[in-house]
Structure 1
Amino acid sequence: MDKPGNLLRVLSLKDAVGVGLGAIIGAGIFVVTGVAAGIAGPAFLISLLLAGTVATFNALSSAQLAAVYPQSGGTYEYGYRLLNPYMGFAAGWMFLMSKLAAGSVVAIGFGSYFYLLLPYGSPLALSIAAVFMLTLANFFGIKKTGYLNLFIVGLTILALIYFAVSGLPEIDENNFIPFAPFGLSGIAEATALLFFAFTGYARIATLAEEVKEPEITIPRAVIITIASAIILYVLVSLVAVGVVGAEAMAFNKSPLQLVASSMRTPGISAVITLGASTAMLGVLLSQILGISRMMLAMGRRQDLFPMLERVHSKYQVPHLGILFTGLIIVALCLFGTFEFILASAAFTILLYYSITNIAAYVQPKNERRFGLVVPVLGLLGCLLIALSLDAKVMLSGISLLLLGFIIRFLVKRFI
């Protein structure tokens, strides 16, 4: 049934871009934009561009590394090869912690949104059903999963384009005055928040072992993904602020639905609810993909249980990693997400990308594509964003990291 082995290289440029967009376009655009509007006012549009710029530097570092080291695991792999095993493990462990928590959050988000369209059963039951179905879908090979992902992402993007086109004629320029009521500090804080809305592009690098011609495809896919996400986010946010104003968005947990309800376009509210539902599905699908591949990579080096490196002989997917991922996300949905993990998500992402940029910085000169300025600016961006985090968040993140090293020691010692 299974064996330690290689995965299939079947993902094209289109598939890789779909995975990246599926990972990015989720709770960020449908939820976080409202919070950012409350922090910075209409000037959160500037924050969005700044966050996208920092994310672009990090994305280019990831692309440069993945093109040379096209194995599953992303920064976990680069940390091992270019830095040391401890840095590599730290990146892999923090990736797992943040993405497992995020997976449960988007699953619950899907249940809440989809229940508005089909009020049968309960939101929790819909969340569990979504995890079950997407876990099952992951078993039947990366190519079929890629087709499903493209379909889901396509629906989400069409919904957001319909929203933006519908709202452009209804923009009121008075809603942009005052533009920056909370000054530079508000813009900086909103930038830190919105940075995390862009971080899904790393999923492309995590799946590098399944991408065709990775040295060419991955850099192109990352650049197309981040550029598309920035343009879409800015356009949608511009319309949202212009139609209802930043203050109204700030006091609503579903800001785009609020905006849609004030539009005159037929069916726009239902379209946005459907778009939010498919966005959550897309993120959840990409989370299961990325987490299971990280488990595979860490199982190969016995940083986690060695059985996680098993690849199904027929479908050539890390089926045990997929199964464990689904079970953990279901458990988090049923018993409540761990606040400890969620509070540390910001720190874990920053640590992951900091290690990415350090690894890109020490790459041999002949392997670099973008020069030293890219990882330097990426690392500086991560450090500046970290300055806006609460000290308790950093302490909880460090505690999580220490827990990971304890588990690693036990696995290597006794298994």
Structure 2
Amino acid sequence: MSSHDQRTPEAELTLLDATMIGMGAMIGAGIFVLTGLAAEISGPAALLVFLLNGVVTAFTGLSYAELASAIPKSGGGYAFVREIFDDFGSFIMGWMLWFAYMIAGALYALGFAPNFLELLHVYGVVAPPDQVGAVVIPLLGIGVPAKFVLAFVAVAGLVALNAASTAASGSAETAFTIIKVSILVVFVAFGFFSAGGGGETSFTFQNFDPLFPESAGAFSILPAMGLTFIAFEGYDLITTVTEEVENPRENIPKAIFLSLGATVLVYLLVVTVAIGTLGAEELAAAGEAGIAAAATSFMPTGVPLIQNGGALIVFGAVFSTITALNAVVIASSRVAFSMGREGQLLPSIGRIHYRFGTPFVAVLLSAVVMLGSVVLPTQSAGNMSSLFFLLSFIVVNVAVIRLRRKRPNMNRPYEIPYYPVPPILGIVLNSVLAVVLIGFLVQTDLLALLLSAGWLVVGGVMYVALNRYRARGDDADSTAEQPTVDEPTEE
């Protein structure tokens, strides 16, 4: 092996960068498109849906924090499971996580396209998104929908940034995340200021009474939690770049808690304002445009550059989707890199580029699969991603318990308080959500379950094929190293 292959990632990301990676992924398109879905299923109790999802997520966040402080390796949940479980178990964990991140990336790329077109439409550059025609590819003469072209451009641009420099991609994530959080803070501030304003739409807590409408009931929050759980997937991305963060044993746990706490707070404030101004029924009717509809109803118009509240939210949605996309480009490539380094994918995937100092091949491979995933039905892809994340979080909580038992004296700069209660609660609650989600998908989206099972089958085949490939390589090496027997010489 050359010296180039033995390079390790350089620690170029600060605590702020790591925190913004988590927030950039969690405060993504979910806050804009899932709020209406939660309101449609559970009414005003959508506020509880996001609160309880934050609580469920926090238990697993504690497990990630302890494991990251004890095992400061890139790769996230895969790196932890690799230390504790057998070869096949760790491979399946990595295989699930890798695909879940790439599917999420495809969703964010497709979410970026209509928001970007809507932003251009607001300023009169293009027609409404549903009226934008196909883009003809030069030389080929083939018309491709504009959303696919924009999704490709977004992925290609971020892949180029990530392949060239980890520090640059981290800095971009930090800047874009600060911008979009600032936009949401402005939305929340105007929403609360509208209380008692007497206008056509103003904030009132009466929209939360009753919290559980008769048509939905208290138990409606469970399927809503399962379907919106992907909104809280993101803090785990921080652990995929552990080796690229300064002082990871201390900074990774801090970044997890900071990103989770800030995200839950932002979500609760935004959902409170959206329901408090529009009401759950109108928010549900607006669907993916619910937050924009709320902003348009109470924010001032005629503001220079911004024009109206809806335009501001569209602007925020563009930044949200692009930062979430950048975060999963980072995460998916690091999982693939870690698997390649451990010998569970091709060795070239687990190497650091001699010039750029990035997992170059892993970034490119992840981008190819990510772009291929855009052809999947959007809803099915989102459901697959949520299911895989729930399953992986269950395994991570099991992993922290097993590591405590197998290596009780291991150096753990951060330890879970009240152990083993949090990881056990994490296992139980994530399992409940996974079962509820599977039951919901059996009735509404069987394709997502079939595609999920198909990906796992492909993973099993890949695992067997790679083992045989490695075995042949080992046999060839052992044969080459066999000592030769000297022929007797005549005297």
| TM-score class, shorter | over 0.9
Equivalent position of 2:460 in the other structure: 405
**Contact 2:230/2:385 (8 A) holds in 1:** no
Q: What is the alpha-carbon distance in structure 1 between the residues aligned to residue 387 and residue 338 of structure 2? A: 22
Letter in 2 for 1:284: L
CA displacement at 1:396 relative to structure 2: 4.7
Does 2:55 match 1:41?
no
Deviations 1:89-141 (A, max 9, x none): 12111111211111111101101101111255633322221111111111222
Aligned equivalents of 1:352, 1:324: Cα separation in 2: 22
Q: Where does the alignment leave 5 or more consecutive residues of structure 1 unmatched?
A: none
Distance change >3 Å, CA 197–CA 327, structure 1 → 2: same
User: In structure 1, how many angstroms separate the alpha carbons of the residues matched to 2:311 and 2:4?
Assistant: 44
Matches within 5 A, 1:213-362: 213-251=247-285, 252-266=287-301, 267-333=308-374, 335-336=375-376, 342-362=382-402
Deviates more, 1:115-124 or 1:93-102: 115-124
- The AA in structure 1 aligned to 2:361 is L
Deviation at 1:229, TM superposition (A): 0.4
Change (3 A) 1:414 1:338: farther
Pick one of 241, 248, 258 that aligns with 1:207: 241
What's the counterpart of residue 129 of structure 2?
Answer: none
Is 1:154 aligned to residue 200 of structure 2?
A: no
What amino acid maps onto 2:204 in structure 1? D
Mean Cα deviation higher: 388-397 or 103-112: 388-397
CA contact (8 A) 2:107 2:378 kept: no
Conserved 8 A contact 2:226-2:386: no
Q: Given the alignment of the two structures, is residue 144 of structure 1 paired with residue 190 of structure 2, yes or no?
A: no
* Greater displacement, 221-230 / 309-318: 309-318
Preserved contact between residue 98 and residue 345 of structure 1 (Cα < 8 Å):
yes
1:178 alignment counterpart: 210
- Structure 1 380/395 Cα, relative in aligned 2: closer, same or farther at 3 Å? farther
Q: Which moved more, 1:364-373 or 1:23-32?
A: 364-373
Match of 2:88 in 1: 86
Number of residue pairs aligned between Structure 1 and Structure 2: 414
Residues of 1 paired with 2:67 and 2:371: CA distance?
33
Amino acid at match of 2:13: L
Cα distance, 1:337 vs structure 2: 5.0
* Higher deviation after alignment, 163-172 or 105-114: 163-172
CA shift in 2, pair 1:152/1:307, >3 Å:
same
- What is the Cα-based RMSD across aligned positions, in Å? 1.9
User: Residue type matched to 2:221 in 1?
Assistant: I
Contact 2:63–2:396 at 8 Å: present in 1 too?
yes
Alignment of 1:343-382 (within 5 A): 343-364=383-404, 365-366=408-409, 367=412, 369-370=415-416, 371-382=419-430
- Which moves more between the two structures, 295-304 or 223-232? 295-304
**TM, length-normalised to structure 1:** 0.95
User: 2: distance between equivalents of 1:314 and 1:414?
Assistant: 29
Q: Which has the larger displacement, 403-412 or 1-10? A: 1-10
User: Greater Rg, structure 1 or structure 2?
Assistant: 2
User: Once the 2 structures are TM-superposed, how far is the Cα of residue 177 of structure 1 from its aligned partner?
Assistant: 2.4
Give the 3 Å change call, closer, same or farther, for CA 408–340 of structure 1 in structure 2: farther
Q: What is the CA-CA distance between 1:178 and the residue it aligns to?
A: 2.3
Residues in 2 aligned to 1:317 and 1:28: alpha-carbon distance in whole angstroms: 29
Distance in 1 (alpha carbons) for counterparts of 2:223 and 2:19:
29
**1:9 counterpart SS class:** coil
Aligned partners of 1:125, 1:400: CA distance in 2, in Å? 26
- Partner deviation per Cα, 1:319-353 (whole Å, 9 max, x = no partner): 011111222223333x4558765543232111111
Letter of the 1:91 counterpart:
M
CA pair 87-321 structure 1, distance change in 2 beyond 3 A: same
**CA displacement 1:364-398 (0-9 Å, x = unmatched):** 34436012112111111111111212244556534
Q: Is the 8 A contact 1:29 1:233 kept in 2?
A: yes
The amino acid across from 1:126 in the alignment is L
Measure how far apart 1:71 and its partner are: 0.9
Q: TM-score w.r.t. structure 2 length?
A: 0.81
Aligned mates of 2:191, 2:18 — CA distance in 1: 30
Q: Secondary structure at the match of 2:352?
A: strand
Which of 16, 21, 27 lines up with 1:14 in the alignment? 16
Cα separation, 1, equivalents of 2:265 and 2:38: 17
Code of the residue aligned with 2:55 in structure 1: it is T
CA distance in 1, matches of 2:69, 2:300: 45
Q: Which whole-Å CA distance do the structure 2 matches of 1:38 and 1:355 have between them?
A: 31
CA distance in 2, matches of 1:172, 1:339: 32
